[in-house]
Amino acid sequence: MKVRVFFHDRCFDGACSAALFSRFYHERIRDDVDFQFSGLLHRAGALFNEGDFDGDENAIVDFKYSSSPKITWWFDHHESAFLSPADAEHFEHDQSDHKFYDPSFRSCGSFIATIAKDRFGFNTEPVAELIKWTDIIDGAGYPDAKTAVEMKAPAMKLTMVIESTQDPAFLPKLIPLLVSKSLTEVIEEPFVASLLPPLLERHRRSMDILKARTESRDGTLFFDVTDQALEGYNKFVPYYLHPESVYSVGLSKSNFRVKVSVGSNPWAPKEPTVNLAKICERYGGGGHARVGAISFDVNQHEAASKAAHEIVAELRASDRVS
């Protein structure tokens, strides 16, 4: 039996969610399974291709909802989980008891583990380390910016690799290891370990670039690195460099999109009050209350830049009146 698992690509929580779902499914649903893993990325235009839903069962984890009848399992925790009111209504009327949503969870991985344990009797003890780190990384649960930027823990090194990979075969190979080995053992795997030295050097270089490019004013940072290969930069570096900031807006570019990243400083000198998911939704993006993003077509740099500057102006205005 083939189960195709779609997950948020180039994302630590996305990969962990796929791993946790597959282990849960194998242990509590059926064990004669051939898992196929397919990454999904937020991009301009359609997010799903119906023809890709070719499993006997098809699951989506840590990504937006699809009302396709071919999708038999779904887990998500993003505030912007539904592409349309019709999708939200479709979910509300689902009777399968295999589709779950709760934006109160810090990570989709911990959400899947909780549902699998409480409703299906899944034993989470063997994967406790992975669950802990999905919450820390996806929920920005670091004690300070310095810890988030130093990249000392195996999970943080792995996050850097996952967010930077351009190899479509890398994550399908990695995902099964996340629930069968410790994270220390995973980063010692030759196909992972060989990627770390150049990525750590890239991380150090990205700090210099962001230091030079970032403009900090009225509680909001702005930087444009679309001329650099930096879409997978460590999102906490701006707050490490500018601890006075409350919000950040960044423009980056890859081979298929221009991305506007909107975030809030987990260690801000005052509490962020603006719902960033709602702002991003106005431009076709989404996310969480404290972090979101918008994807534009790779040829829409001007539109992405316009959106970024409008958001910067809005956030700076909110800081001035607060």
CATH number at residue 72: 3.90.1640
State residue 102's pLDDT score: 98
Tell me: do 43 and 171 sit in the same domain: yes
What phi and psi, each to the nearest 5 degrees, are found at residue 121?
75, 25
- Per DSSP bridges, beta strands 286-287 and 291-297 are antiparallel
Domain assignment present for 197: no
Tell me: do 29 and 156 sit in the same domain: yes
Q: What is the pLDDT of residues 258-302, one digit of tens each?
A: 999 999 999 999 999 999 999 999 999 999 999 999 999 999 999
Which of 171, 192, 213 lies at the terminal end of a domain, its last residue?
Answer: 192
Tell me: do 249 and 122 sit in the same domain: no
Tell me: do 153 and 215 sit in the same domain: no
Domain assignment present for 198: no
Separation of CA 99 from chain center: 19
User: Which class for 304: exposed (0-12), middle (13-18), buried (19 or more C-beta within 10 A)?
Assistant: buried
Domain assignment present for 227: yes
Tell me: do 316 and 215 sit in the same domain: yes
Tell me: do 72 and 145 sit in the same domain: yes
Tell me: do 125 and 260 sit in the same domain: no
State residue 321's pLDDT score: 65
State residue 319's pLDDT score: 78
Tell me: do 156 and 60 sit in the same domain: yes
Domain assignment present for 309: yes
Tell me: do 7 and 122 sit in the same domain: yes
The CATH number of residue 240's host domain is: 3.10.310.30
Report the distance separating Cα 51 and Cα 92, nearest Å: 25
What are the pLDDT tens digits along the chain (322 aa)? Answer: 999 999 999 999 999 999 999 999 999 999 999 999 999 998 877 799 999 999 999 999 999 999 999 999 999 999 999 999 999 999 999 999 999 999 999 999 999 999 999 999 999 999 999 999 999 999 999 999 999 999 999 999 999 999 989 899 999 999 999 999 999 999 999 999 999 999 999 999 999 999 999 999 999 999 999 999 887 789 999 999 999 999 999 999 988 899 999 999 999 999 999 999 999 999 999 999 999 999 999 999 999 999 999 999 999 999 776 6
Number of domains present in the structure of the chain: 2
Tell me: do 93 and 146 sit in the same domain: yes
Domain assignment present for 125: yes
Domain assignment present for 200: no
Tell me: do 60 and 179 sit in the same domain: yes
Domain that holds residue 6: 2-192
Domain assignment present for 225: yes
Domain assignment present for 199: no
CA distances from 139 to 158, 286, 312 (A): 16, 16, 23
Which of 192, 223, 239 lies at the terminal end of a domain, its last residue?
Answer: 192
Which of 141, 165, 192 lies at the terminal end of a domain, its last residue?
Answer: 192
Q: What is the pLDDT of residues 2-39, one digit of tens each?
A: 999 999 999 999 999 999 999 999 999 999 999 999 99
Q: What is the pLDDT of residues 41-51, one digit of tens each?
A: 988 777 999 99
CA distances from 135 to 2, 110, 117, 159, 226 (A): 29, 7, 17, 13, 29
Tell me: do 67 and 124 sit in the same domain: yes
